[in-house]
A and B are shown apart, each in its own frame.
Chain A
Amino acid sequence: MPNETDYVSRFEAASKNADEPSWLAELRRKAIDDFQRQGFPTTKNEWWRDTSVKAIVESDFRDADGSPDVPKPLVNAATLEGAIGGHRVAFVNGKFSDELSHIGALPEGVFVGRLSDFAKAHPDKFEQLLAKTAKTDDAPFAALNTAFWRDGACVFVPKGQSIDETVHIVYLTQTNGHATIDHPRNLIVLEDDAKADVIEHYVGMDKCLAYFNNVVTEVVMGERAFLDHLKLQQESPCAFHVATMEIRQRGKSNFATNSISLGGRLVRNDFSTALDGEFIESTMDGLFLVDGEQHVDHHTKIDHLMPNCHSFETFKGILGGKSRGVFNGRIYVEKDAQKTDAKQTSRNLLLSKDATANARPQLEIYADDVKCTHGATIGQLDSNALFYLRSRGIGEAEAYKILVYAFAGDMIHRIKNLGARETLEAKLIELLPKATYLEEAS
């Protein structure tokens, strides 16, 4: 059974033939030390109490490699070709794919492409930015990623510039007969007054082989910067997906993310943002739709460090089969962060007798002139609404489906990219878990 030591020895082997600047080598060294010190988290760790990563620890992964032989139409369908449009930075099994990527004309100074290319083109900026937002001291998976990452996407928008078309970052995974591991690393930097619209998209092509994507995405936003972010997780049903997204926002910036989680067997999304300036707006939304044995966990952390900031969170989950959905959201308000307005909502719909939902909406407040609320519900659809539809001659199962669709649709409608929204609406209908609870009850 592989364990922490295996990762360390693998690191030692890999670091021998690496050709990297010394600061980066040091950074990786510190990261692997941090990882070794922390080890994989267990459920005794409060931050991981609802998600066991035992299956990840016990799997023997190889590095993802080579381009898979996937028919192009399949790839296109999986990557929402045509629907999203704009610039695409695509990776197949952790390697940049020229074939699937296309980057159109960009304004002066804007960079969209591979992180490794950004490192070559702007070595100073790269050194200034990498791993400055996502720390490794208290995050074993981020530490692992920092030690091992090979490539990833980078979006850099300098002062006052904007990218009008969506930047679509795609990670496609198709294993070749063996469980693989990859550590995608994304860096999104928007300087003052910059604007961008980014979709982070994970697609698995395998039906049954396990693989592990350990992602870190860092977002740095200057003053008045504007970022619209969508994370679309459609890993294969046997995949492990652990993602850490760390955001740092400066004054008057506006950040919005929407995390749509449909695939994966064990999925963990950590979003954490530091509001380091006044008049910031930060929105975190999410929807997960799980069935079978899927386990999806969202951990969010919003740190209000300065006065007059607003944050909004809405997470919804639909759980069928033997699935489990976890939401853990923490709003932290620093002593100086007066006039904070924070709102957090978690809503979960249980569709089966074997499904479990865990909600942990948390408030930690040290300032007095604030307005902070959170709400969490776990349960069933409104019986009056169900009755209304039934009274109009709609069958029970159908009525149920309509209401579940409406429940989830609310989150899909928040997606700004029209193509992505339409595709997902269609996908949602196809994916709605069966309300087995109804059948059991009748």
Chain B
Amino acid sequence: MQDSDAILQERVNQEYKYGWVTDIEQDIFPPGLNEDVIRALSAKKKEPEWLTEWRLKAYRHWLNMKQPDWAKLQVSPIDYQAISYYAAPKSKEDGPKSLDDIDPEIRATYDKLGIPLVEQMALAGIAVDAVFDSVSVATTFRAKLEELGIIFCSFSEAVREHPDLVKKYLGSVVPYTDNFFATLNSAVFSDGSFCYVPKGVRCPMELSTYFRINAGNTGQFERTLLVADENSYVSYLEGCTAPMRDENQLHAAVVELVALDGAQIKYSTVQNWYPGDAQGKGGIYNFVTKRGKAMKGAKLSWTQVETGSAITWKYPSCILQGDNSVGEFYSVALSSLKQQADTGTKMVHIGKNTRSTIVSKGISAMLGQNTYRGQVLIGKNADNARNYSQCDSMLMGSECGAHTFPYIDVKNPSGQVEHEASTSKINEDQIFYCRQRGISTEDAVSMIVNGFCKEVLQELPMEFAVEAQKLLGISLEGSVG
């Protein structure tokens, strides 16, 4: 015993002696992952000791985990030692100087989406601080939020300014032991958003990272924590319809939602990262863990439009812990080119009279593979729980695939679970009807697909919905004809 204690002591001292002290001056870490890197990362961000420890605990746990392979995805091996786990936020001067430096294809897409010029510049990473209106808009918004007691800031800021809240809720929904990617994220998360809505407050606007100062470059391991205190309401938008410029191939984000008694959280996502080229080269690997916990009478609602990324592995889930809580999941997942999406949800009914709805629309085109994978679990004590699931898939072209893997587990006789799924081809009669009336095939397809997804799109906040509709059309260009 004494021996091992001595060794342990020595090790601890060693790590303290070297490690991050020298690293702290650098702007980017060399590739590689070990405890020193995590300590250095944590030190860079001036994090308190408990958080450093938490990261290390996650890392040690991660070492014993294997990358999951149960999803219907073909993932080329990822070398976790080849990734640099810290890069200082890039200064805007490094970005392109003007819109002329931007890939014309991306610009064309901006135009099609109808994004205003200044916003285009911001999205493309051009230094526009001086002219860009939304900065001042953001400041005004922020003042308004502060007035209501709503905290909305970057995760690092929250760690510094509101350590108690972060400490209380971090890992309370997605524990650091949860799964391979969530654990990795827990160890190395770069930054993200934090939001706290106090008791009884109804957040007057849709919150979006867009309105957050310092939102830029949150890195590839994003961490979001949203806490809605009793009887409060918040609607949160994540992502953006415009294609995102990003050099990192692997993304492993974690989103935790906590809805206390009577609270409501609406979380909307539009994900349109680079899907790779037609040969499937490049493209983002998107492995995301999203989960919310609903206490008594609380409501969680996930809406997602997933059109980007080469690989999407994402299951926004609801733990319906409190009695009378409600969970919703609305999803459109589109895979074209050589994209692969394995996405769905988990509805875990624990409380009595809990209700959940799942509406999932999958669209596969060209060589895309689209999988819905979801679980509905009605626990033993979840009396009168109710679930309705509908998963529809649409296929375009004979080279794509659409798959449905629902898991339904009911342990309570008063529970009622219904699951329906259908898979069919895009209706040629409908295309013909449109063509006959002078509508081009592409517009017709876009129209039909939007109709197919209507139930989901109407759940999105308005401006978002309009952009998402256009996005679906653009993503499907050239897939029929």
Contacts and interface: CB of A to CB of B under 8 A. Distances in A.
B332 to A, nearest CB: 18
Interface string B413-452: 1111111111111000000000000000000000000000
A375 B421 contact: yes
Interface string B370-414: 000000001010000000000001011111111111111111111
B50 interface: no
Interface string A320-357: 00000000000000010010000000001011110111
A376 interface: yes
Interface string A373-399: 111111110000000000000000000
Interface residues of A, number: 36
A223 to B, nearest CB: 26
B413 A361 contact: no
B70 interface: yes
Given A375-B421, A378-B417, A363 B404 contact: yes
Given A350-B410, A356-B409, A365-B393, A379 B404 contact: no
A351 B413 contact: yes
B419 A376 contact: yes
Nearest to A437: B413
Given A356-B410, A379-B410, A437-B413, A362 B419 contact: no
A365 B393 CA distance: 10
A378 B398 contact: no
A373 B423 contact: yes
A338 B421 contact: no
A166 interface: no
B413 A353 contact: yes
Nearest to B369: A366
Contacts of A362: 403-406
A368 B408 contact: no
Given A376-B406, A379-B410, A364 B401 contact: yes
Interface residues of B, number: 35
A375 B402 CA distance: 16
Question: Which of B380, B415, B421 is most buried by chain A, counting CB atoms within 10 A of its CB?
Answer: B421
Contacts of A376: 406, 408, 417-419
A363 B423 CA distance: 8
Contacts of B380: 353
A397 to B, nearest CB: 15
B421 A380 contact: no
Contacts, number: 115
A179 interface: no
B70 to A, nearest CB: 7
Contacts of B407: 358, 360
Contacts of B414: 380, 437, 441
A350 B412 contact: yes
Given A373-B421, A374-B421, A365 B395 contact: yes
A372 interface: yes
A370 interface: yes
Contacts of A100: none
A289 to B, nearest CB: 16
A3 B351 CA distance: 42
A338 B411 CA distance: 39
Contacts of B406: 359-362, 376
Contacts of B401: 364-366
A270 B356 CA distance: 32
Contacts of B398: 335, 338, 367-369
Contacts of A441: 414
Nearest to B408: A359
Given A371-B424, A374-B404, A359 B419 contact: yes
A372 B395 CA distance: 11
A398 to B, nearest CB: 19
A91 B417 CA distance: 42
Contacts of B424: 370-372
A322 B422 CA distance: 33
A46 interface: yes
Nearest to B380: A353
Interface string B31-66: 000000000000000000000000000000000000
Contacts of A363: 393, 402-404, 421, 423
9 contacts: A350-B412, A363-B403, A363-B423, A368-B398, A373-B421, A373-B423, A376-B408, A377-B416, A378-B378
Top 8 A-B pairs ranked by shortest CB distance?
Answer: A379-B416, A368-B395, A350-B413, A359-B408, A378-B410, A363-B404, A437-B413, A372-B423
Given A356-B411, A362-B406, A368-B395, 16 more contacts: A348-B410, A357-B408, A357-B409, A360-B407, A362-B404, A365-B403, A365-B423, A371-B423, A373-B420, A373-B422, A374-B404, A374-B419, A375-B418, A376-B408, A378-B408, A437-B413
